[in-house]
Amino acid sequence: MIEGQEQSLNPEIRIAELEARVRELEKRNAELERLSYCDSLTGLYNRRFFDESLYKLIVGGNESPVLDERRAGTDNREVGVIVVDADQFKHINDTYGHAAGDEVLKSVSRALVTLNKREADIVARTGGDEFVILLPGMSEEMAAERARNLWSIIREFKVRAGVDLIPITISLGVGSLKLTGVKDALYAEEIRLKGSDLPPDEINAKLEEKKKEIFAEFLDQVDEAMYAVKKEKGSDQIARVSEIQNKEIPSDEAA
């Protein structure tokens, strides 16, 4: 045998080669998983990651290491959420082109990442011109302060399109989900379902549906608060869920 053939048959060398290939495969799989959670344009997390994070941060269960880290050291009794909408995005695309629109989204993304630096914060692009920030341990008041800082920073931004400088503004919806209320609602639903003589598997399935329904309703409230204020006062505004529910929209909230 030649020297190379002898080496290839050496058990220790063969094991080392296999281990190296396994490590490389694991590295590639981890990168593919990361990319499946990322928005290709902005580099932020995507809607899938946000939805899973909101669910797992609140409910718990089998979590990935990154989500375990994000839960560590946070007060999980309340979760703040900020919905961010880039104003006049369609007009910018139609007037200045999609390249300018992309630069607007990238500029907003950079500001979101710069301001939300806590390990627990999760920033995602969830639609064409919409972003969501998940803030574990934050009340609505705390999230509103974060929103005001973000709003004021973005107003200083401009994007160049040829000889034009395009001003950027955003509208924001702010709310928080109290986890005790979620748990109480789920407990009441579980008691109701158990009294209906359904099999355990069906009860568990219906409880999962109830959890998703609660989260969807909460996000809808934040969205509706933002759009209610935009309809009332126009773009470039901040809306809090509690104020909309109480029909209190201060005229100088974001002026």
- For the chain, the C-alpha Rg in angstroms (whole number) is 24
Backbone phi, then psi, for 173, in 5-degree steps?
A: -110, 140
Extended beta strands in the chain, E state: 78-86, 122-125, 130-136, 158-161, 164-167, 170-178, 238-240
Contact 57, 136 (CB under 8 A): yes
C-alpha–C-alpha distance, residues 168 and 159, integer Å: 7
CA 49 to chain centre: 7
121 a catalytic residue: no
Q: Which of 85, 87, 121, 129 is catalytic?
A: 129
How far is the first Cα of the chain from the last one, in angstroms, to the nearest whole number?
A: 83
C-alpha–C-alpha distance, residues 179 and 183, integer Å: 6
Adjacent-strand bridge partners of 240: 174
Contact 239, 137 (CB under 8 A): no
Catalytic residues: 129
